[in-house]
Chain A
Amino acid sequence: MTDDTGLNLFQQQEANRRRTVWLVIAFVLFFAWLGFGGDFAYWLATSDAPPDTYHHTFPWFGLIMTAIGAGIAWYGFSTGPNKVLWSTGAVKLENPQTDKERQLVNVVEEMAIAAGISRPDIWIVPDPDPNAFATGLDQSRSHIAVTQGLLDICSRDELQSVVAHELGHVKNLDVRLMTTLAALVGAVALMHDGVGRLLASGGRIGGGGGSRGGGKGKGGGLVVIVVLVLWVISWILAPIIAQFLAMAVSRKREYLADAMGAQFTRNPMALASALTKIEAADAPTTSIKRGAAHLCIADPLGRRANLREGGLSDLFATHPPMAARIARLKGMAYQRLKAEGQFPAA
């Protein structure tokens, strides 16, 4: 675990942005390898072939995979927000009736001002477990949903900090990023099955190419086989690897949204105390399904993997452990007090 607790909120934002960029680059490279790796092996296999036989010079396989992936991602991307809201049974808050509801509307408007984005639509999920999520494709058309349970247990400051965290996601376009990644993960899983059949013929091509190229030397044939084997293994593991990468991005974005929330409220301790309350109410949020888990402030499924950091949990969890998030928030609060000179030099 890298220790970010000694950084102030702007440094934490920087660090998290940098890590996400690397993860997304890794994600894209992995996808490029899945698509174009086969073309590469085929090209190697046919480059030594006699002039009158087929030469694989145009990467049609990779291009088709890219098109399919982009199509599936676009579909998930454009229908995602409405599907998520519908699946949670959220009710749009248009005429606030109770004091708490009015407070929520005010707090959302305040935070939209602090974040410099237009006011999102506000939804309430009728669920007694405290949780919240944001969705929407860009900063001008976003939605924020909180559960009734969150409204009931949070003070004004805590509610404000949770809303700030969610608007941090909106401001960072995390919703777009995460929806796209989720769609791509789904696309990989779908194509994984389809490619399974293609691989059989792929093996034959590789073998044939190797024997044809045998006249020019065995080295070329060996490279083809190594590349091909690596590519096949990548495809076998593709769904899991894609999932791991998406989860890793998701965890970094949670830290980033915490830091953005702290920037908007300038009150990291309020979010720390809200997270403590949310964690204490450890019942799973039943109305929020797995598909929307990565959008929530706390994992609605209450999975054990989110409790620890390191090892397997690092691969499976959508959210970083609460204790680590709270520690970082307290670190921000401490840095802030130190900067304001309320502590003697630490």
Chain B
Amino acid sequence: MSGVILLIILGVVVLYGVGAYNGLISLKNQTLNAFKQIDVQLKRRHDLIPNLVNAVKGAMDFEKSTLEAVIQARNQAVSAGANASPDAMKSVAAAENQLTAALSRFNVVVEQYPQLKATGNVAQLQEELTSTENRISFARQGYNDTATQYNTKQQQFPTNLFAGIAKATPAELWEITDEGERAVPQVDLSMKPKA
């Protein structure tokens, strides 16, 4: 009789172990996927920028330096992303941060010229730009949320007993690398609220 009970207990433990293992593996893959999603969105931003610049080039001759800054930052980000190795993550992040800064300057400039905004094309592209920036930050947020879930599962008892078997290691969260971004941004009151 006691043998049967032992067997049942063993069965339950094994079943639980399988569940915990599979749960960890699926979270691990979700975390990886969420990380790739950031790349996908960065790529989308790189593809969008040439269109955007072309659309406003004629109307914005007087703001050449802003446009050139955007183009240059974009090209740097693309080349940094192209030869990305795990060690080069820092330079990729730095290039992307530069691009973000150039784009927000560009946005401020566009806001200064109402007649530019009035042309449908530019308004549409601005919506695209807002959306792209949102997508990148939501992709990062999604990655952080998934990675946090994954890390918590690894550390919680009793799932932590199976973390070694599932080769689960804590995933790093996305953080602001540039100290300057941590500073409170200067608010331009003429700007639309950023979603």
Contacts and interface: CB of A to CB of B under 8 A. Distances in A.
A115 interface: yes
Interface residues of B, number: 22
Interface stretch (A21-29, A105-113, A218-226): A105-113
B142 A116 contact: yes
B119 interface: no
A61 to B, nearest CB: 30
| Size class of the A contact interface (CB-based, 8 Å) | 20 to 34
A264 interface: yes
Interface in B121-141: 123-124, 127-128, 130-131, 134-135, 138-139, 141
A91 interface: no
A158 to B, nearest CB: 9
B193 A157 contact: yes
Contacts of B34: 116
Interface in A258-277: 263-264, 266-267
Contacts, number: 52
Q: Quick one: which of A113, A157, A264 has the most chain B CB within 10 A?
A: A113
B145 A106 contact: no
A238 to B, nearest CB: 34
Contacts of B145: 116, 263
Contacts of A114: 138-139, 141-142
Interface of B: 30, 33-34, 37, 41, 123-124, 127-128, 130-131, 134-135, 138-139, 141-142, 145-146, 192-193, 195
Interface of A: 99, 102-103, 106-107, 109-111, 113-116, 155-157, 160, 263-264, 266-267
Given A110-B135, A267-B195, 12 more contacts: A106-B134, A107-B195, A109-B131, A113-B142, A114-B138, A114-B142, A115-B142, A116-B33, A116-B146, A156-B130, A156-B192, A266-B141
14 contacts: A106-B128, A106-B131, A107-B131, A109-B131, A110-B138, A113-B135, A114-B138, A114-B141, A115-B142, A116-B30, A156-B195, A157-B193, A264-B138, A267-B195
